[in-house]
Structure 1
Amino acid sequence: MQQLNLPTYKFRFKSSENKLFIFDIIRKKYVVLTPEEWVRQHFVWFLIEEKKYPISLFAVEKKLTINKLTRRTDILIFNAEGNPDIIVECKAPSIKITQETFDQIARYNLKLNANYLITTNGLEHFYCNMDFKNERYIFLKDIPNYSKFDS
């Protein structure tokens, strides 16, 4: 798999029926290793190891219904009160982050009302804080650490 613009972590892999699987500590199971999954697993570990978000606040591929259509968030982090706080949209490294990517995560956020939105392809990461009062995004250089985070 491609080297990403994220720290390297020790993942657990297994091979079965000519497919490679990676262990997801959030879903507690092996999942097929695709380029998007490679990015998602790196970003999960980045948020846990570098940003100190507790595993107990994570959901991966959380289902939500928007306009009668079923969608899934790549990574959803809840605050201590159990409300959505951060939505992360992961793309394969070959996929460029575009306005369409932001539109996708913004549609999810109409339902979830998270404070932070993140889009990443593993090479580029875009962080923004929601300014609900003025109905706009405020782009950030980084996402706050959990210990410094107050929702």
Structure 2
Amino acid sequence: MDQDLNRVQLPNLNLPPFEPKLQEVDGKLGIFDSLRKKYLILTPEEWVRQHWINFLIHHLDYPKGLIVLERGLVYNKLQKRTDLVVWDKEGKPYLLIECKAPKIKLNQKTMQQACLYNQKINAKYLIITNGLNHLCLSWDEGSGKFQQIKTFPEPPK
């Protein structure tokens, strides 16, 4: 397996590259999650999520301690999980990031899923991403809707 790690072709994403730690986990390729400090099975969605974690911390200066992975929530009596949630320093949800695999198109369905999750979380910002395309939204109190924005949100104050 170690020789296979050197030959793994992972897709380039529209995020800054980084050098992930990869190793075998239960016979599958794993990637080190710096937040949970453990190896996770490397799925296409996990590849996107780990890039976002790296981007938030090392390029946008988000505090590592404010980022939470896979927070559970219940929607329509079903247990769901958010991909990434960033909290502000007062402990309120600031940014919800919904990660999809690079092959998944960002469309109305993916946007609705993220918005439904956010109804429970109430983050001010929402990012829907497949690693190649990123849709950034900001909650507009006046209209009671999300509005698309052109830049990534600044780290929480």
Residue 88 of structure 1 aligns with an amino acid whose one-letter code is: I
Letter in 2 for 1:93: P
Structure 1 stretches of at least 4 aligned residues deviating more than 6 Å after TM superposition: none
What TM-score, normalized to structure 2?
0.90
Percent of pairs with identical residues: 45
Query: Is contact 2:88–2:94 with CA below 8 Å preserved after alignment?
Result: yes
TM-score, normalised with respect to structure 1: 0.93
Say which SS state the counterpart of residue 119 (structure 1) adopts: strand
Q: Distance in 2 between matches of 1:63 and 1:30?
A: 20
**TM-aligned CA deviation for residue 91 of structure 1:** 0.5
Task: Tell me which residue corresponds to 2:110.
Answer: 101
| d(CA) in 2 for partners of 1:73, 1:132 | 23
**1:58-109 per-position Cα deviation (integer Å, ceiling 9, x unaligned):** 1111111122211100000000011111000000000000111110111111
Aligned to 1:11: 20
> Structure 1 regions of 5+ residues with no counterpart?
none
- Alignment partner, residue 88 of structure 2: 79
Gaps of 5+ in 2: 1-9
Quick check: 1:57 aligned with 2:66?
Answer: yes
Q: Which residue of 2 aligns with 1:138?
A: 147
The equivalent of 2:31 in structure 1 is: 22
> 1:12 and 1:27 mapped to 2: Cα distance?
14
Q: Which has the larger radius of gyration?
A: 2
Aligned AA for 2:100? K
Between the two proteins, the alignment pairs up a number of residues equal to 148
Change (3 A) 1:107 1:16: closer
